[in-house]
A = this chain, B = another copy of it.
């Protein structure tokens, strides 16, 4: 049960890079971090425009002196304060994730970062090494994984309810960019510009979400090889794709598919994860995240609901309100931030025992997302060929 009583000793002094005026994702980060008192927002470099950033910070109630013109200034100044921030969230375009995260880690800050963590696996591994060396947490914003039914699905796999896992079907395919909306919408423009977005659009922006959800549910699956084709149905987006399909073969014989799209015209999110085992399947849909469909072969399909006593205690640990009441995206993100805070405190206290059983998207998840996209792009650009996964 999450009820507003903080389980850590104190709020984490926290800052943000990006996420300023007009940023929707910035609000999501703040709402999640501040919701249950685990983080305290004290500093920010919110905007490329220093004045606008400072005004925005003031609107949020920050000390104007801690609203910095850029992250370099923030990291330096905060490091010099006894009460400086201990953690920073990075909500900037993709191309800046690597240098800012690297600098933050080198400045001794825990990091919560938007995905993709970097453009290349080697960059991601570099961050992983630095974080490990310094005992810092890097949390990655795979927000959907904070939904309690994902935990329940993981439990059903772990306890053998589904039998041996055979098939993983992933989908995140919306239709909002069926036309070239980026021509009129600056917020969409950088996502289809490789200079800012990196080597992919929908693979990195959308598909890594269900990919991580599947990793949470099936932690033992290892991709052996994959094949990807990608398309730019709005031609001006090339070389970045607005639609892609990935085939995956796992060690041990399981197989997987992933369809991701921004041109699935008329669809909302349609992010769906279906895990098929030898005895049964689970299916989860992010637009109705409080339900999990459990289908055991030969039995009636079951609809599991959030908050019900038949769920695993670990799933119920994230409950905020009685069953029947819908929880949404903001609640899932807030759940993740509780865990980020717990992980940060455990790291600072050098008490790894407290991390046992604390599942959250850390640097490994960030690395894996980058690696997966890298392989997908390599496959696709090679003509849709199989590439070994390593």
**In the complex, are the beta carbons of A296 and B266 less than 8 A apart?**
yes
Return the CB mask of A25-40 against B: 1 if under 8 Å, else 0: 0011011000101000
State which of A74-82, A130-138, A166-174 sits at the interface with chain B.
A166-174
State which of A115-123, A216-224, A321-329 sits at the interface with chain B.
A321-329
CA distance A331 to B324 in the complex (A): 15
Counting CB contacts under 8 A, is A309 at the interface? yes
* Chain B residues positioned under 8 Å from A167 (CB to CB): 243, 261, 263-264
Contact of A24 among B3, B266, B277 (CB under 8 A): B3
**In the complex, are the beta carbons of A278 and B265 less than 8 A apart?**
yes
Contact of A321 among B245, B259, B330 (CB under 8 A): B330
**In the complex, are the beta carbons of B27 and A268 less than 8 A apart?**
no
Counting CB contacts under 8 A, is A236 at the interface? no
**In the complex, are the beta carbons of A253 and B281 less than 8 A apart?**
no
Q: How large is the interface on A (under 10, 10 to 19, 20 to 34, 35 or more residues)?
A: 35 or more
What 10 new A-B contacts, CB under 8 Å, besides A31-B35, A166-B243, A263-B278?
A4-B30, A4-B60, A6-B59, A27-B320, A178-B278, A179-B278, A257-B259, A264-B281, A268-B305, A302-B303
Counting CB contacts under 8 A, is A297 at the interface? yes
Nearest opposing residue in chain B for A311, CB measure: B300
**In the complex, are the beta carbons of B255 and A229 less than 8 A apart?**
yes
The residues of A with any CB-CB pair to B shorter than 8 Å are: 3-6, 21, 24, 27-28, 30-31, 35, 37, 59-61, 162-163, 166-167, 169, 174-176, 178-179, 227, 229, 231, 233, 243, 245, 247, 249, 253, 255, 257, 259, 261, 263-269, 276-281, 286-290, 294-305, 308-310, 320-331, 383-384, 386
**Closest 8 pairs between A and B when the two form their complex, measured CB to CB:** A266-B295, A328-B328, A269-B324, A300-B302, A268-B324, A326-B328, A3-B27, A265-B297
Nearest opposing residue in chain B for A294, CB measure: B300
